[in-house]
């Protein structure tokens, strides 16, 4: 049952909220209307999509990515009780509820395993939360620290933007192990100035590799591009992973359109990349092929390389244009 909720002015300037995309912020507000009076509800992608975005061109997978984004920024807590996934708004105390109803949804676990590679809070057999509040008082679930959103199943080389279905509770995934997480985290942190975000949830980056992205040829170079083009520091690996997936998808399409393999065979040394900020950094070979095709057919991908040669704002170095013209 939908309920009337309130929004405080401080919501719009909250750092946690500002870290989220516009659609994720809208979803966050929408969740309030469908949470019970303890700030809890089932974390069903399809159900939430039908409730909050009934006529919008979003898929259940899109909604799941928004839920993960809210979770990564500490705005909701995702947890599992006896195989069923729920969510709880972590700052629910801002809602004033005059006659709170008893919650029928179990409370989140109070002592999660900090060493779980999925960083998901899981409850086996436990008591159902009663969600009781004194009349005139607000419910105050304790804020939980941010954590990655879901346990994912590895798929055989899907498109970078694809999102896999959640894995069955307790099922061990080949990629979801501490050794693999540590390897990927070490490589990502040593690539970024200052070691990257303080976020400990490296799962979203490991999932990129599980989805078929090459760590050295695609993930690390694109990670550097995303960090260099960010206007404000990126604080979570989830945001990095989302942006990397989008850029790698565009890069693969660009390479395929130029007759190149979608995935580079070897990483290009940073010093050999041509900076076309804010559109990214690309090897000279890729740019030379793009320039040659442009001169032959007039085809140019603005979304990948920026303005075409001869247009205002073109970032392609003159030496490449002169070389191709000759």
| Mean pLDDT of successive 10-residue stretches along the chain, which has 326 residues | 72 81 89 86 90 87 89 86 87 72 82 42 38 40 40 39 40 65 90 85 87 88 87 84 89 85 70 76 80 86 82 84 58
Residue 249 backbone dihedrals phi, psi, to 5 degrees? -60, -45
Residue 6 backbone dihedrals phi, psi, to 5 degrees? -120, 155
- CA distance readout (Å), 34 to 42, 48, 99: 10, 9, 16
Helix (H) or strand (E) holding 88: strand 84-89
pLDDT at 244: 92
Cβ neighbours, 10 Å, residue 305: 23
pLDDT at 135: 41
* Residue % of the chain over a pLDDT of 90: 6
Please identify which residue in the block is written with the tokens 């972590």: 90
pLDDT at 293: 85
d(CA 52, CA 41): 13
pLDDT at 305: 81
Output DSSP code: residue 96: -
Domains of the chain (ranges; CATH) run 9-123 (1.10.10), 151-267 (no CATH), 268-326 (no CATH)
Cα-based torsion angle of the residue sequence 15, 25, 40, 3 in order, rounded to the nearest 10 degrees? 120
Digit-coded pLDDT (tens) for 253-311 = 888 888 888 887 655 666 677 888 787 778 777 888 888 888 888 888 887 788 888 88
- Give Cβ neighbours of residue 200 (< 8 Å, ≥ 6 apart): 119
Q: Which of 199, 279, 210, 180 is nearest to 238 (CA)?
A: 199
pLDDT at 169: 42
Whole-model pTM? 0.38
Digit-coded pLDDT (tens) for 206-222 = 889 988 898 888 898 89
């Amino acid at each position: 049952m939908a309920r009337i909720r309130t929004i405080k002015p401080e919501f719009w300037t909250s750092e946690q909220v500002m870290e989220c995309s516009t659609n994720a912020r809208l979803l966050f507000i929408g969740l309030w209307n469908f949470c019970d009076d303890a700030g809890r509800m089932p974390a069903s992608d399809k159900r939430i999509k039908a409730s909050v975005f009934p006529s919008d061109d979003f898929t259940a997978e899109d909604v799941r990515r928004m839920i993960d984004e809210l979770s990564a920024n500490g705005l909701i807590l995702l947890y599992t009780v006896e195989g069923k996934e729920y969510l709880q708004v972590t700052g629910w105390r801002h809602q004033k509820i005059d006659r709170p109803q008893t919650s029928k949804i179990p409370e989140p676990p109070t002592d999660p395993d900090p060493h779980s590679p999925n960083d998901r809070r899981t409850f086996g057999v436990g008591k159902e939360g009663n969600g009781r509040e004194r009349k005139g008082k607000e419910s105050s679930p304790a804020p939980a620290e941010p954590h990655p959103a879901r346990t994912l199943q590895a798929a055989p080389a899907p498109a970078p933007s694809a999102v896999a279905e959640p894995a069955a509770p307790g099922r061990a995934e080949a990629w979801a192990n501490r050794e693999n997480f540590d390897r990927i985290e070490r490589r990502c942190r040593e690539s970024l100035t200052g070691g990257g975000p303080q976020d400990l949830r490296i799962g979203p980056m490991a999932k990129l590799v599980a989805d078929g992205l090459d760590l050295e040829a695609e993930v690390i170079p694109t990670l550097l591009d995303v960090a260099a083009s960010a206007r404000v520091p990126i604080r979570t690996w989830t945001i990095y992973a989302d942006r990397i997936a989008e850029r790698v998808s565009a890069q693969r399409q660009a390479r395929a359109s130029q007759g190149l393999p979608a995935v580079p065979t070897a990483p290009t040394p940073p010093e050999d990349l041509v900076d076309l900020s804010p559109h990214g950094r690309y090897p000279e070979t890729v740019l030379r092929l793009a320039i040659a095709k442009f001169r032959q057919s007039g085809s140019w991908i603005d979304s990948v390389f920026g303005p075409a040669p001869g247009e205002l704002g073109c970032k392609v170095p003159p030496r490449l244009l002169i070389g191709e013209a000759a």
